[in-house]
């Protein structure tokens, strides 16, 4: 960011509520201003966002010095949630990376919703959409570490045996369409999403496949599964 751009963004803050907390670190006022200016730009992509939670964490492990500063941004809107996390050698670099991830997720969902509302007739040509998604995928690979480069649970458990269930979560079972499930998966930045299919009322999972394709797995009675094979 140039000095002129920084001056233009100074003082910007989102209309949504923002909380910024630090774990093992104090958050200076000038960094809070930088966070607010970045979130103000993110808010323009989705005006329904009402709350941002930003958490900074310092990793004390000297072996992780290159990724010692982490930031997680959780954005809550009307009936949906988006999350992005980044680990870098400075909080400023981590903020830039996390905001970029969040922006890409929101843009993908925005395009998906536009296509859905238009009856699957994309407002842009198929070539344009494919080119944009290809560019975003390339940027994501460059900005983010490899899938197996970062341990998501590192530092959370001092002593545990491998192969144990280390986390459990409950999600609402409100039925939704497959398209909405794909949007929710993009917003939280996961590779899969568990939901109840509103059309079949079956527990189902959407997941990422190669390139830009997705997969769908649904549970059904054994007899019905055998008949479909």
pLDDT tens for residues 100-147?
999 988 888 777 777 766 665 444 555 555 555 556 555 555 555 554
pLDDT of res. 112: 72
Other beta carbons within 10 angstroms of residue 54's beta carbon come to 23
Q: Give SS3 for 77.
A: strand
Share of the chain above pLDDT 90, in %: 25
Per-residue burial over 136-173, b = 16 or more CB atoms within 10 Å of its CB, e = otherwise: beeeeeeebeeeeeeeeeeeeeeeeeeeeeeeeeeeee
Q: Could you tell me the domains of the chain? A: 17-114 (3.30.160.100), 175-218 (3.30.505.50)
pLDDT tens digits, 158-168? 555 556 777 78
How large is the angle between the packed helices 126-143 and 91-117, nearest 10 degrees?
160
Give the separation between CA 58 and CA 32, rounded to whole angstroms. Answer: 16
For residues 192 and 208, the answer to whether their CB atoms sit within 8 Å is: yes
CA 43/CA 60 separation, integer angstroms: 32
The pLDDT value recorded for residue 104 is: 87
Q: Collect the ranges in the chain with pLDDT lower than 50.
A: 1-9, 121-123, 147-149, 157
Residue with tokens 């940027």: 139
Would the pTM of this model clear 0.85, i.e. be above it?
A: no
Contacts of 155 (CB under 8 A, 6+ apart): 59, 61
Closest CA to 20 of 89, 98, 77: 98
């Amino acid at each position: 960011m140039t000095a002129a751009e920084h001056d233009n963004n100074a003082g910007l803050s989102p209309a949504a509520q923002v909380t910024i907390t630090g774990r093992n670190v104090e958050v200076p006022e000038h960094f809070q201003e930088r966070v607010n200016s970045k979130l103000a730009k993110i808010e323009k992509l989705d005006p329904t966002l009402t709350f941002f939670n930003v958490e900074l964490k310092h990793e004390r492990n000297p072996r992780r010095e290159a990724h010692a500063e982490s930031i997680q941004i959780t954005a809550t809107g009307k009936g949906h949630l988006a999350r992005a996390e980044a680990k870098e050698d400075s909080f400023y670099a981590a903020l830039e990376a996390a905001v970029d991830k969040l922006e890409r997720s929101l843009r993908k969902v925005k395009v998906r919703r536009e296509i859905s509302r238009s009856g699957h007739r994309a407002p842009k040509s198929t070539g344009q959409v494919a080119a944009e998604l290809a560019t975003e995928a390339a940027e994501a690979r460059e900005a983010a570490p490899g899938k197996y480069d970062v341990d998501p649970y590192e530092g959370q458990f001092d002593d545990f045996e491998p192969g144990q269930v280390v986390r459990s979560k409950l999600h609402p079972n409100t039925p939704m369409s497959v398209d909405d499930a794909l949007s929710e998966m993009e917003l939280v930045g996961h590779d899969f999403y568990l939901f109840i299919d509103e059309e079949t009322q079956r527990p189902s999972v959407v997941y990422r496949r190669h390139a830009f394709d997705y997969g769908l797995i649904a549970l059904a009675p054994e007899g019905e599964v055998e008949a479909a094979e």
